[in-house]
Amino acid sequence: MLQALTNLSNIIVPVFFFYIIAYGLIRKRNVYDDFISGAVDGAKTVVGILPTLIGLLVAVGILRASGFFEFLERVFRFVTDYFSLPSQIIPLIFVRLYSSSAATGILLDLYQNFGTDSYIGLLSSIMMSASETVFYTMSIYFMAVGITKTRWTLKGALLATLADIVGSIILTGIMV
């Protein structure tokens, strides 16, 4: 099963890439010009969101250096102990809501301390790949299009994150 998933992941990106090119050619679009136009729009977006990104990275760096993440581990230890989960994943869960880059840093720390093939390594890998930076994504995309009322977006995104955590625990339990 794991080998089949590995083979699928090795071919899915090239297949998707060629599908997009073929679709553009069938529609008689200049695929390269469309790509360049999208890249220019993407660069404009990056320049527009750069202050927010820098602010998030600085805030996460301050929290990490202050020992706040260790505090979170201690506060939520009763929950992780009850469900027999490693408390070391708590900072990853919270930081992933705000910053993918900072969460990747925490993930790399977990890899160094516990190994990539450990239970913590597998659990955190699945969690990272199945979740989204909820607050970052909402602030960037809603700011870009001028949405001020989020209605159910935050509740739905947090529910999806909870589903990600539960699903990651189940998948890791099956794999280990």
Per-domain residue ranges for the chain?
Answer: 45-175
pLDDT, residue 176, reads: 72
pLDDT, residue 36, reads: 92
Spatial separation of the C-alpha atoms in residues 90 and 97, rounded to whole Å:
11
Spatial separation of the C-alpha atoms in residues 158 and 138, rounded to whole Å:
12
- pLDDT, tens digit, 9 for 90 and up, residues 113-161: 899 999 999 999 999 998 888 888 888 788 778 787 878 888 999 999 9
Cα distances (angstroms) measured from residue 87 to each of 38, 130, 169: 42, 19, 13
Spatial separation of the C-alpha atoms in residues 3 and 7, rounded to whole Å:
6
- pLDDT, tens digit, 9 for 90 and up, residues 36-65: 998 899 888 888 778 877 777 787 778 878
- Write phi, then psi, for 132 (nearest 5 degrees): -130, 155
- pLDDT, tens digit, 9 for 90 and up, residues 51-102: 877 777 787 778 878 988 889 888 988 888 888 889 889 999 988 988 887 8
Tokens of 23: 């679709």
